[in-house]
Structure 1
Amino acid sequence: MSVSDGDIEYLRRCVELAREALIAGDEPFGSVLVDSSGRTLFEDRNRVKDGDNTRHPELAISLWAVGNMEPEDRAGAVVYTSGEHCPMCSAAHAWVGLGRIVYAVSSTQLSTWLHEWGAPPSPVAGLSINTVAPNLPVDGPADVLEAEMKALHLEKFNSTAN
């Protein structure tokens, strides 16, 4: 399966949430959980600015899903996200049994941009989702959203570099 036009609409909401995170002083990441009928069940944005670097929206989705959905419903759900899951979020997603992941930009893209801008290296390796959780169905990146996401990350980089 590839990123469809319908997927792009959910990913656009993720980009809006990433922008909200940036405006709030956080890193620009946003995610949406959608059930098998296409209904949005939960959404969140990054919330790491206060020092808890585990407050990723993808982890929040996993925690919400395990407390609010039956296992079979989790398996049929889709997580849309502005950026590919980090290893922590990939593992959580797999452990709680969520279904497909669709992302706007990859960890490789983000790492390349940050390297170009001279950012310090991340304390965590930017592994692909399927390196951490090999059986998860994953689609991305969505090229149509790359420039917008790159601009958000550049804005965050410039605000922290000064």
Structure 2
Amino acid sequence: MSSTHTITDQDLTHLRRCVDLAREALDDGDEPFGSVLVDSRGTVRFEDRNRISGGDSTRHPEFAIARWAAENLTPEERASATAYTSGEHCALCSAAHALVGLGPIVYASSTEQLTTWRTEWGVDPGPLTPLPIHAVAPGVPTRGPAAELTEEIRALQARSSGVA
């Protein structure tokens, strides 16, 4: 159930926070990914950034959101919440998102973009097949990417990959 709905000004506000968190992650030695969970009233309920440098490769912010939501929100609250993220969820995070019953995902950059960039730079694609969200969680509505943030995210990913 992929979507091509336009990114709204409210979406951009939350996506910009995700990019800030991604930059914070990169500055701390992690991969540049950040995410926030926003409830149906527009309140940020949880935010996190990538934290894999400690050796646990599952410490993605999107996975942390799913775990936090499962522990702290009712099924109804989860279904009406929106996850914002600097980069489209990987297969691990897409599955976690769907399994806990979270609502829409809005992403600043797509899996396709990241895959293209990494290929251009000659960077190893990693241990997971780069799949779009709808290939793993077809029932989750999505919006993205946000063209307004593409160059900034590309620059963070380039720095992370050692090409900038």
Secondary structure (helix, strand or coil) at the match of 1:121 reads: coil
Residue aligning to 1:78: 82
Query: What per-residue deviation string (whole Å, max 9, x for no partner) do you get for residues 36-73 of structure 1?
Result: 00000000000011221110000000000000000000
| Displacement of 1:122 | 1.6
| Displacement of 1:151 | 0.4
Between stretches 120-129 and 71-80, larger displacement belongs to 120-129
* TM-score (structure 1 length as normaliser): 0.96
CA-atom RMSD, angstroms?
A: 1.2
Q: Give the Cα–Cα distance (whole angstroms) in 1 for the partners of residues 110 and 21 of structure 2.
A: 17
| Displacement of 1:3 | 1.3
Aligned length: 160
Q: Give the Cα–Cα distance (whole angstroms) in 2 for the partners of residues 145 and 121 of structure 1.
A: 22
Which runs of structure 2 are paired with 1:1-162 in the superposition (5 Å)?
1-158=5-162
* TM-score (structure 2 length as normaliser): 0.95
Q: Give the Cα–Cα distance (whole angstroms) in 1 for the partners of residues 45 and 125 of structure 2.
A: 34
Q: Give the Cα–Cα distance (whole angstroms) in 2 for the partners of residues 99 and 72 of structure 1.
A: 10
Determine which structure has greater relative contact order: mean sequence separation of CA pairs < 8 Å that are 6+ residues apart, divided by chain length: 2
Secondary structure (helix, strand or coil) at the match of 1:49 reads: helix
The unaligned stretches of length 5 or more in structure 1 are: none
Question: Which residue identity lines up with residue 38 of structure 1 in the other structure?
Answer: G
Q: Give the Cα–Cα distance (whole angstroms) in 2 for the partners of residues 85 and 120 of structure 1.
A: 18
Runs of at least 4 residues of structure 1 off by over 2 A?
Answer: none
The unaligned stretches of length 5 or more in structure 2 are: none
Secondary structure (helix, strand or coil) at the match of 2:53 reads: coil
- Aligned-pair identity in percent equals 58
Secondary structure (helix, strand or coil) at the match of 1:25 reads: coil
| Displacement of 1:2 | 2.6
